[in-house]
Structure 1
Amino acid sequence: MQPQAHDNTSVLGRLLDEISWEGANVRSYRDGGRGRENVLTAEVLTALDFLPRRAFLGAVLDNAHGADHARHTLSRQIEDAQVVFLPDEIVLNPDGRSRGDRLIVQPDAAITTPTAHALIEAKKIGRSSFQPQQLAREYLAVTRQAGDRTPLLLLILGTPPPVAVTGHGRLPIHDAIAHHLPTVHTLAHHPSPVDELTARIPDVCAWTTWHDLAHTVLTQHAHTTNTDPSTTAAITRLVTSITHAVARHS
């Protein structure tokens, strides 16, 4: 993904910008991009952004696994959060001569509040794997970007961990990060020592699955009451769009 214009802030606009760099691979977006993780993420994140935040996106965060303090800190402030789909790429090593040496991180979404900062990495529901250093890079990116805020790296997965990592089989999330963290840390511009970062992995990293997310949204919808029929119908349409998206991409 190439750097994006700062005025391109809509989910649809950022998705189209992403697709424009696909070249010949753009044919894979036929059939509405079925099976493409960025399309699924765009469809679900758009609806979650428009639904009442505390009741739906907040519940998704609350019902995820791991990093309890970070998740709940973000959830409590979710109404005032800035949610960005496909945020601008993060460069961990600006001194790198080539694009590969610069350690580029390209998260699927970012959520920022006054005291919390989250990066979201989503994988498609079908078979997929992380690149060897991918999770270590994203972990360094979120802990550096967070500054004084509470960092959270949220993985949205097709199936529960362990996660598939190219060349390493299936690993617990902690191991997938810790194995490559020292190597990436030597090149990344990060203010914290690697031993401290390794110890903090359980406090920063959380996960959920697409099917768990859809179940949470349906459960919240069943318990949501509203006296305005038009508002109720709007919420129902958005919830249906999430469940249909997860089903269509499965």
Structure 2
Amino acid sequence: MEAMPGVAMSMVGKLLEEVSWEHATSYRQGGRGRENVLSAEVTMALDFLPRDRFLGAAIRAAKGADHARNVLVKEIEEAELRFLPGDMTLAPNRSGTDQLVVQPDAFSTSPGSFVLVEAKRVRSSSFQPGQLAKEYVATMAHAARRVPLILLLGTAPPVLVHGRGRGRMSLEDAISSELESVLLRANNEQLALEGLVERIHDVFCWITWTELSAVIGNQAADFSTTDPSVNASVQRLAKSVCSSIAWHT
């Protein structure tokens, strides 16, 4: 069934759509340990919790890309979160069906900020060669005049890159070693290699699942309003974030 015009599919709907393309047996035991299940549970709760007090606090606690994070935090109440948004081309201004694409776990848009979220599972996981470079190019291409930001959720540099002779790599090495090849394959003539290499530090930030759980727990402990029902609702949502992270560990 297609979504009604102007009505976005819910996060649960997007998760089930993703499940339909995968082996369903992988989701037994509630998809325990799978990053898209954890990401859906956490993102949904963060979308409903008071934005500045919780999602904003998590972004402030992340490391890297200080200016881009500050822009996002200032617009956090207006930010629109989309989970499993589908294919994102690396050259959106070029027509054709042979486009190179990435599939973000989520992204956030606001008037001045464009954020791609790459979530990794709590247990050990790695990036495919070229994955970070492709996500970087896609983010820079789609940000247009907005400030670009890539949030690595659940991992921190040095990042583990799959493949012989790779292993743990700095963000700069993991991206710059593949960037020229990605740009050629994407046929994006609007982005220059030199400028992209120089901006890696300005775009990438990260927070681990353990750090995120601590931030949400601390914010919940400090949260209080005069309405006991609102307090109880916030506490339930915050607890669901911490419980999900603990359960998937």
Q: TM-score range by the shorter chain?
A: over 0.9
Distance 1:211 1:181, change over 3 A: same
Question: Match of 1:85, as an amino acid?
Answer: F
Alignment of 1:1-250 (within 5 A): 7-22=7-22, 25-92=23-90, 102-158=99-155, 160-167=156-163, 168-188=166-186, 189-250=188-249
Give unmatched runs, 5+ long, in structure 1: none
Tell me the CA shift for residue 205 of structure 1: 0.5
114 and 132 in structure 1: CA distance in 2 versus 1, 3 angstrom threshold? same
Q: CA deviation at 1:88?
A: 2.3
What residue identity is the alignment partner of 2:135? E
- Aligned sequence identity (%): 47
Deviation at 1:72, TM superposition (A): 1.0
Q: Unpaired runs of 5+ in structure 2?
A: none
| Superposed CA offset, 1:9-58 (max 9, x none) | 21101111111111xx2101010100000000000000000000011001
Q: What secondary structure sits across from 1:55 in the alignment?
A: coil
Select between 128-137 and 173-182 the one with higher mean Cα deviation.
Answer: 173-182
Q: Look up the SS of the partner of 1:88 in the other structure.
A: coil
Contact 1:67 1:203 in 2 (8 A): yes
Number of aligned residue pairs: 241
Q: Provide the C-alpha distance between the structure 2 equivalents of 1:89 and 1:97, rounded to a whole number of angstroms.
A: 12
Distance 1:85 1:229 in 2: 31
CA distance in 1, matches of 2:198, 2:108: 23
Whether the 8 Å contact between 1:47 and 1:238 is mirrored in structure 2 is: yes
| Greater mean alpha carbon deviation, residues 238-247 or residues 186-195 | 186-195
Q: How far 1:64 moved relative to its partner?
A: 0.3
Distance 1:218 1:228, change over 3 A: same
Calculate the aligned-residue CA RMSD, in Å.
1.7
- What is the TM-score with the length of structure 2 in the denominator? 0.92
CA 1:72–1:40: 2 relative to 1, 3 Å: same
Alpha carbons of structure 1 residues 190 and 235: separation in structure 2 relative to 1, 3 Å = farther
Change (3 A) 1:5 1:207: farther
Deviation at 1:96? 7.6
Contact 1:9 1:84 (C-alpha < 8 Å) held by counterparts: no
How far apart in 2 are the matches of 1:235 and 1:169? Answer: 40
How far residue 174 of structure 1 moved from its aligned partner, in angstroms, is: 2.0
TM-score between the two structures when normalised by the length of structure 1? 0.92
Partners of 1:117 and 1:16 in 2: how far apart?
Answer: 25
Deviation digits for residues 49-100 of structure 1 (CA, Å, limit 9, x no counterpart): 00000110011111100000001100110101111001121122667876xx
Report the Cα distance in structure 1 between the residues aligned to 2:121 and 2:195, rounded to whole angstroms. 31
Contact kept? 1:110, 1:118, Cα under 8 Å: yes
1:175 CA drift (Å):
1.5
Q: Which amino acid aligns with 2:133?
A: A
